[in-house]
Structure 1
Amino acid sequence: MSEMIPGITASPEALNGVVWSILGQTYTLKQVSEHSMAWHARFPAGTFVPPHTHPTQDEFIYVLTGQYTIWLEGTETVANPGDLVRLPKGIPHGIFNKSEAAATSIFWVAPTRSLETLFGRIHNVSDPQEVVRIAAAHEVYFLPPPGG
């Protein structure tokens, strides 16, 4: 991985044509370098990323459309269009679209670490347990379900 390449990734485009399908969500790569990675995300109604931690990355979500319910250290709050969600490294968090409409956003992490590789490995993987197993090898650790 190298330094960030200057330029514009147009609205409908993906950097280097990279689009991932991850458990019903669509992630369109917009920027990647050693220091950060950004992607456009589309969360259909009812989809989510369960509670997890990134011990080596800060994560951010800028909400474009729809509404996200953010689980942060055991507390739920709602993020609406124009809101910026800050998820510091090491802090457990989950991202849920509990509404009846799709939600879109720009996500980014800093530094990138192996998140791009993780997304490539879990692209089109339909078994959530397999996603959890693969994620642990890339510094993303999912919390056990409540009572599990």
Structure 2
Amino acid sequence: MDGEFTFFYDGKQIAVGPGGYVFLPRGIPHGIRCSGSKPSTMLILAVPGTGFVEMMTEMADPALERVLPPNTISDLDKLTRVCSERQIDLLGPLPH
């Protein structure tokens, strides 16, 4: 929607700016990095979204009310737990 993101999948790196899109088939290991110099917004469509939507919803709820900086240990611990509960594998870190 706005800003810039870099998508990593299948040995590729693709930078996407405002109005761009990327299709990531289910089951393909991938990663996304906000690569612009300002906060950015993206829209994710996950079909079917079983597990993924619940993970995103649970991770987003506390972010609406907290003042902690992103990527704190508590966020990473929670992400690890929430993904594990939904059989979502975390494969980091992303390449530079």
Same fold (TM over 0.5): yes
1:141 is aligned to 89
Long gaps (5+) in structure 2: 64-73
1:82 is aligned to 19
Task: Point out the structure with max Rg over C-alpha.
Answer: 1
TM-score normalised to structure 2 length: 0.70
Q: Does 1:66 align with 2:14?
A: no
1:124 is aligned to 62
* Higher helix content, 1 or 2: 2
What is the aligned-residue RMSD (CA, Å)?
2.1
- The number of aligned residues is 83
Q: Does 1:98 align with 2:35?
A: yes
Amino acid at match of 1:124: P
2:66 is aligned to none
1:116–1:144 CA distance, 2 compared to 1 (3 A): closer
Q: CA deviation at 1:66?
A: 1.1
Matched residues in 2 for 1:139 and 1:81: separation?
A: 31
2:69 is aligned to none
Q: Which runs of 4+ in 1 moved over 3 A?
A: none
Q: CA deviation at 1:144?
A: 4.5
Q: CA deviation at 1:85?
A: 0.6
Corresponding residue SS for 2:46: strand
Q: CA deviation at 1:136?
A: 2.1
Long gaps (5+) in structure 1: 1-63
Q: Percent identity, aligned pairs only?
A: 25
